[in-house]
Structure formats: structure tokens, C-alpha cells
């Protein structure tokens, strides 16, 4: 990551309808404009999971206007960190990009009761990620 530009993160899951959308919404909310945030799916759904939208609304984050987006090579190339969530090896790999795999339950077809713990785990991981990618270079391990 260049010190002059803000870090960029791409969240990827199969349908870009649940996990990756919630993660992007959390990071956008928590980073306050200090991180460029994207999300995409290897096989995007027609719409964002309504239970994910409802779960995020409960914590004051509005995802109702979001739509699933297709994963592109350009999106991966433009990102400093790519976080996959159950999409296997569909992400192209480029030198200099950090790749992480977050193993999370899939909220597809689940009700709000099942989505809340996924939302909360994504929040926890996103807070850790934000600290790591915005820490001054001298404090990074």
C-alpha cells in the first residue's frame, strides 16, 4: 500500500448478496472514507439477501440500495487486500496483493436469527482488518 493513497479492500463471495455485502458495508461505515471499499461475486445474485439487509439495518447501516456486482480482474488488480468468503479459487492472483480467506457461514436462505451472528463476526473481523491496514507502517508487524 502506498503511503500517499488510501488502502483498498475487495470483499468477494459467490453471489455478492450476503457476506461480502455486509463486510463492505461494515468497512465503509467504520473507515469513514479512509479506505476504498469494493465487493463482488464470482456468480452474482439478482439481489442482495433481504435478511442481510435487515440485519445490517438493525445496527444502523443501510444496504438497501446495494446490488450484487460481478468479480472482475480489474477490481482485483485495483485492490491492496482481497478477502474471499467461500468462493474458492475464482479470484485471480496478482503479486503485491494480500489475500485472506474468511470462513463464514453462508447466510443464503437463512432467516434473520441465523444472519445476526454472521453479521457480528464480520464486524469483529472488519474492525481487526481496519486496524491492520490503517496502522502506520512502523507499527505493522
Catalytic residue numbers, as ranges = 13, 87, 91
Strands 98-101 and 8-13: unpaired
Residue 138 in grid coordinates: 512502523
118: nearest Cα among 65, 77, 59: 59
DSSP state at residue 18: S
| Residue tagged 487486500 (cell numbers) | 81
Q: For residues 119 and 134, what is the distance between their CA atoms, to the nearest angstrom?
A: 22
Grid coordinates of 114? 441465523
Angle, helices 50-58 vs 19-31, to 10°: value is 30
Amino acid at each position: 500500500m502506498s503511503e500517499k493513497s488510501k488502502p483498498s479492500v475487495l470483499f468477494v463471495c459467490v453471489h455478492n448478496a450476503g457476506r461480502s455485502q455486509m463486510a463492505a458495508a461494515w468497512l465503509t461505515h467504520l473507515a469513514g472514507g479512509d479506505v476504498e471499499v469494493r465487493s463482488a461475486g464470482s456468480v452474482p445474485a439478482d439481489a442482495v439477501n433481504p435478511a442481510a439487509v435487515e440485519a445490517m439495518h438493525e445496527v444502523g447501516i443501510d444496504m438497501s440500495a446495494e446490488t450484487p456486482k460481478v468479480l472482475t480482474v480489474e477490481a482485483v488488480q485495483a485492490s491492496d487486500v482481497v478477502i474471499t468468503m467461500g468462493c474458492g479459487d475464482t479470484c485471480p492472483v496478482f503479486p503485491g496483493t494480500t489475500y485472506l480467506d474468511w470462513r463464514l457461514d453462508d447466510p443464503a436462505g437463512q432467516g434473520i436469527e441465523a444472519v445476526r451472528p454472521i453479521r457480528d463476526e464480520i464486524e469483529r473481523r472488519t474492525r481487526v482488518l481496519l486496524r491492520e491496514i490503517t496502522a502506520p507502517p512502523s507499527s505493522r508487524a
